């Protein structure tokens, strides 16, 4: 039994040494911000209509509360390629891979559902990929360099623990010496745990400072999505009333330490169906917009303007066809508040106008994004 215990401890030593030689697990909370779901962006239930490009490194859930009713809408988002191939304690495989594969690892998928003001159930699915990022925290070797002094000290303590364990297990050792060895082992183990916690805290503080300094790093995202609108005539039935396909590009540019400019171009092809699910109307919408954010990584404020134009007058005015709930002109303002490393609260007020700039609607929106860590 003693030999087995000693063998397990030796294996633990080897595992500990290997773990110390690995890059620390720093993929957690390495996002410059927690972005909103592209599926929610398609459904127009985000506080800001100019989607801020960024990456997530985990599964994420969004809850959105649009209009005056507290009726929650739900979306989920994930990066499967990152999760399968690169979400490891050792970041070196990701850091050493090609730029193309790093870009491919940013591919994320999202799906969301809402109930609109006409009591129709709308479902959206979207895929997004990041084509350009000014700074990638996980590729920055300076940020994620392992402290060799820390490794050496921890390895020495592990060797001391093994040596004391071997001495303690000798048959000729007295009870007094055995107790003394156990006390020394407890003391060394406590030192090991304290230093390990200190190292993790130092690394996390370094990451926080890095993200705070680069929260407005520039990004470019490209996305593609589909929307389906269903009438709900009965409790257990849904009838397809319309569908849309969308393609959009969003970009951001940081200015100084506190300003971020955002831009959006979106093209939407929409179809409306009759009771027999046959297409009886179709139309396209082109949207362009710009936004301004001011603040930092903890909280920031935004204002954005979105202009939309359809190829027919009824495209924007028909609720059954305008599945993305766009208006000719929309002005939104609000802010983001990062409540913790994993939770972001976004809030805003959207005002809609006609093409002649006549006031049309005002919509308060709140969104809660939670990284599933």
Report pLDDT digits (tens) over 305-342. Answer: 999 998 877 788 877 778 888 899 999 999 999 888 88
Distance from C-alpha of 160 to C-alpha of 156, rounded to nearest angstrom: 6
pLDDT tens readout for residues 257-283: 899 999 999 999 988 876 655 667 788
Q: Which residues share a beta bridge with 74?
A: 63, 113
Distance from C-alpha of 246 to C-alpha of 50, rounded to nearest angstrom: 15
The alpha carbon of residue 353 and the mean position of all alpha carbons in its chain are separated, in whole angstroms, by: 32
pLDDT in single tens digits along all 373 residues of the chain: 444 444 334 334 333 433 333 334 455 566 778 888 899 988 888 889 888 888 888 889 998 887 545 566 889 999 999 888 888 777 778 888 898 999 999 999 999 998 876 677 889 999 999 999 998 888 775 555 555 566 677 778 788 888 887 877 777 777 777 788 788 888 888 888 887 788 777 777 777 788 788 889 999 999 999 999 888 766 567 788 888 999 999 999 999 989 999 999 999 998 887 665 566 778 899 999 999 999 998 899 999 999 999 887 778 887 777 888 889 999 999 999 988 888 899 999 999 998 888 998 898 988 989 988 7
Distance from C-alpha of 193 to C-alpha of 149, rounded to nearest angstrom: 16
Per-residue confidence (pLDDT) for residue 278, from 0 to 100: 62
Distance from C-alpha of 305 to C-alpha of 351, rounded to nearest angstrom: 10
Per-residue confidence (pLDDT) for residue 14, from 0 to 100: 34
- What is the pTM assigned to this prediction? 0.76
* Extended beta strands in 152-236, E state: 219-234
Per-residue confidence (pLDDT) for residue 67, from 0 to 100: 57
Query: CB of 202 within 8 A of CB of 208?
Result: no
Per-residue confidence (pLDDT) for residue 93, from 0 to 100: 84
209 Cβ partners below 8 Å, 6+ apart?
none
Backbone angles phi, psi at 245, to 5 degrees: -120, 135
Per-residue confidence (pLDDT) for residue 11, from 0 to 100: 35
Distance from C-alpha of 279 to C-alpha of 231, rounded to nearest angstrom: 15
Q: In Å, how far are 95, 167, 203, 304 from 32, measured between CA atoms?
A: 18, 50, 16, 20
Distance from C-alpha of 45 to C-alpha of 38, rounded to nearest angstrom: 10
Per-residue confidence (pLDDT) for residue 170, from 0 to 100: 79
Per-residue confidence (pLDDT) for residue 101, from 0 to 100: 92
Nearest to 60 by CA among 371, 373, 355: 371
95 Cβ partners below 8 Å, 6+ apart?
23, 138, 139, 141, 144
Contacts of 210-214 with CB under 8 Å at 24 or more apart are: 210/137, 210/140, 210/143, 211/30, 211/31, 211/32, 211/137, 211/297, 212/296, 212/297, 212/298, 213/257, 214/32, 214/134, 214/135, 214/137
- Sign, CA dihedral 217-212-204-140, equals positive
């Amino acid at each position: 039994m003693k030999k087995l215990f000693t063998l397990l401890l030796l294996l633990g030593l080897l595992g500990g040494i290997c773990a110390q030689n690995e890059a620390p697990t720093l993929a957690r909370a390495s996002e410059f911000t927690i972005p909103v779901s592209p599926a929610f962006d398609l459904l127009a239930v985000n506080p800001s209509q100019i989607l801020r490009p960024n990456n997530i490194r985990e599964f994420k859930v969004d809850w959105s509360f649009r209009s005056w009713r507290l009726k929650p809408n739900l979306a989920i988002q994930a990066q499967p390629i990152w999760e399968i191939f690169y979400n490891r304690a050792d970041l070196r495989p990701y850091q050493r891979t090609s730029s193309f594969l790093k870009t491919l690892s940013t591919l994320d998928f999202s799906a969301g559902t809402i109930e609109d003001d006409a009591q129709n159930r709308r479902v959206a699915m979207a895929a997004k990929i990041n084509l350009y990022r000014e700074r990638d925290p996980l590729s920055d070797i300076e940020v994620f360099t392992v402290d060799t002094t820390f490794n050496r000290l921890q390895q020495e303590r592990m060797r001391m623990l093994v040596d004391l364990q071997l001495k303690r297990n000798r048959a000729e050792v007295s009870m007094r010496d055995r107790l003394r060895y156990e006390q020394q082992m407890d003391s060394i183990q406590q030192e090991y745990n304290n230093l390990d916690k200190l190292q993790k805290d130092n690394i996390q503080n370094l990451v926080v400072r890095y993200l705070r300094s680069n929260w407005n790093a520039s990004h470019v995202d490209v996305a593609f999505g589909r929307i389906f609108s269903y009438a709900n005539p009965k409790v257990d039935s849904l009838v397809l009333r319309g569908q849309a396909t969308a393609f959009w590009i969003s970009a951001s540019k940081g200015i100084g330490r506190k300003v971020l400019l955002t831009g959006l171009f979106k093209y939407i092809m929409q179809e409306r169906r009759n009771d027999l699910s046959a297409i009886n109307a179709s139309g396209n919408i082109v949207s362009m917009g710009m936004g301004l954010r001011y603040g930092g990584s903890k909280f920031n404020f935004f204002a954005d303007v979105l202009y939309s134009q359809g190829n027919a007058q009824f495209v924007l005015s028909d609720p059954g066809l305008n599945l993305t709930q766009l208006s000719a002109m929309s002005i939104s303002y609000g802010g983001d508040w990062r409540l913790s490393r994993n939770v972001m609260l976004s809030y805003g007020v959207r005002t809609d106008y006609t093409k002649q700039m006549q006031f049309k609607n005002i919509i308060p929106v709140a969104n809660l994004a939670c990284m599933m860590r």
